[in-house]
Structure 1
């Protein structure tokens, strides 16, 4: 089977890779690209562990063909921190212990960042709705929601 050549941008870096026609974006990220932050939880788009953004739109990478990345801007959990400096969401998740096993955490963080980019002042209901596609079996959701809400407030204050 012939490989497909894909040219894209991942976490701000121009990237090229080869993939099989049936490879998911998750396969490409975790395989040839070596970006293992997105996790395969279900393989059916139900758990959100593999969440990435494509041109700013939240996507389950297990449901996207790798070839579809051609010409698009992809963001993964690996691009969230700036060097050694954690994104405010990552820092708040650590401070409030809003993570445990780590399977869901990358997808939750990518989804939460996507929410705050669209709505810097979400209500608790909006946060819970936005994160409904991310399943967590360890922490429950209260610490996660609190971390997102507190980060949003701190980011708004810093922007003033």
Structure 2
């Protein structure tokens, strides 16, 4: 799949991604790339980020085809994760919106191991050239409570009319 024209850009007070060409609804935009790591290593990186109060974490769980209750041994086990912090493309800078113009999908086909699959961004609406690209970091989830570290929820700053006010 050929990527659409996108580029990292300064957006207000942070980095983001804007289109360099118009994108049609349903069009493939790009993949989320990074280092494939174990969930144990990902947990260590999350904990280190929380301790250092580092804001940016670029971890994505590859858990679409993982089911610990499955009778199929290929689907058991801890999911792997993708860390886009050091080895990635511009998609790691795509910001969150509660009313996004992209959605991320698991794409299988290039790997024999179901624990490794691509994370592909597709447009969910027509996007004009120069518009910021966004996706919903929690894909519509509304579980308002404490996160795994016992901290209160992270406030959402997307500014959308559909804003849920919290991320996770």
**How does the TM-score come out when normalised to structure 1?**
0.28
Q: Give the structure with higher Rg (CA).
A: 2
Higher RCO structure (Cα 8 Å, ≥6 apart): 2
**How does the TM-score come out when normalised to structure 2?**
0.27
